[in-house]
């Protein structure tokens, strides 16, 4: 479980960090997360999706030894897996960790791979949330690629978030728009996910992701036709946030 290295509550530290870095840049926030001992041990969690290359490149430049956690749900697009391998080879990242659901749990809860068809929340919990929680034990914070423009539910995201009073979530790109991402990718000559050109601005598991039509919310293709907008990893403020097993006990 995360180490108790710092005085004050997680909420206090998050409020202070947001006040301190309110007018700073994404790279400033990233450097803080990767080099400031006040945040403790931090990992980057990456889906290797449509915009992931921006943060991955920043990490490779600032602190390439940073752990990068990639959740392979075994339901990802083949293009995502190919892209992940290509970026792992091209960027100077030293510690990419691929995690998956435990085979015994998958065998018991989704033996035929159809759980997503009738219970998407349970499928996300099995294949993504529990493996990530397991991988994040021992970290005091984690870096995400969430941005305010992605949908209305993310419109108030700050650089730093309190995750269940036990860990800090860092969102360096919170205030970036699509044009900022585009500029960064072009200026640094970064490879794009191959599905972006085919109408996928947000990419998750293949069975639950569809192309987005012009004018739609960028995440409209995720769990299309349902009220679901998040897998559960990013729920905060008491919504589906669970402490590590040691803490919960």
Buried b (16+ CB within 10 A) or exposed e, 16-43: ebeeebeeeebeebbbbbbeeeebbebb
Is 231 one of the catalytic residues?
A: yes
The token duo for 126 is 């099995």
> For residues 154 and 177, is the Cβ–Cβ distance under 8 A?
no
Selected catalytic residue, list 124, 205, 208, 231: 231
Phi/psi zone of residue 237: left (φ > 0), alpha (ψ -120 to 50 degrees), beta?
A: left
- DSSP-derived 3-state class of residue 116: helix
> For residues 174 and 234, is the Cβ–Cβ distance under 8 A?
no
Reference 44, options 31, 57, 56, 28; nearest CA is 56
Q: How many CA atoms lie within 13 A of 29 on its CB side?
A: 29
User: Known catalytic residues?
Assistant: 231
């Amino acid at each position: 479980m995360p180490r108790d290295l710092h005085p004050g509550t997680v909420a206090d530290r998050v409020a202070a960090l947001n006040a301190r870095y309110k007018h700073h840049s994404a790279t400033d926030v990233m450097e803080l997360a990767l080099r400031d001992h006040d945040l403790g041990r931090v990992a980057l969690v990456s889906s290797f999706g449509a915009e992931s290359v921006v943060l991955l490149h920043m990490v490779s430049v600032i602190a390439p030894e940073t752990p990068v956690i990639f959740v392979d749900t075994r339901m990802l697009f083949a293009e995502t897996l190919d892209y992940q391998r290509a970026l792992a080879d091209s960027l100077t990242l030293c510690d990419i960790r691929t995690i998956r659901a435990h085979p015994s749990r998958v065998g018991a809860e989704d033996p035929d791979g159809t759980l997503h068809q009738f219970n998407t929340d349970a499928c996300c919990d099995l294949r993504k949330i529990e493996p990530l929680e397991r991988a994040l034990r021992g970290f005091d914070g984690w870096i995400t690629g969430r941005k305010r423009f992605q949908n209305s539910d993310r419109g108030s995201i700050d650089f730093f978030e309190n995750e269940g009073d036990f860990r800090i979530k860092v969102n360096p790109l919170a205030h970036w728009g699509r044009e900022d991402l585009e500029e960064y990718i072009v200026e640094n000559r970064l490879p794009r996910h191959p599905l972006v050109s085919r109408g996928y601005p947000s990419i998750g598991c293949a069975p639950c992701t569809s192309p987005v039509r012009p004018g739609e919310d960028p995440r409209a293709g995720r769990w299309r036709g349902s009220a679901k907008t998040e897998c559960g990893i990013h729920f905060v403020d008491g919504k589906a946030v669970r402490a590590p097993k040691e803490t919960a006990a």
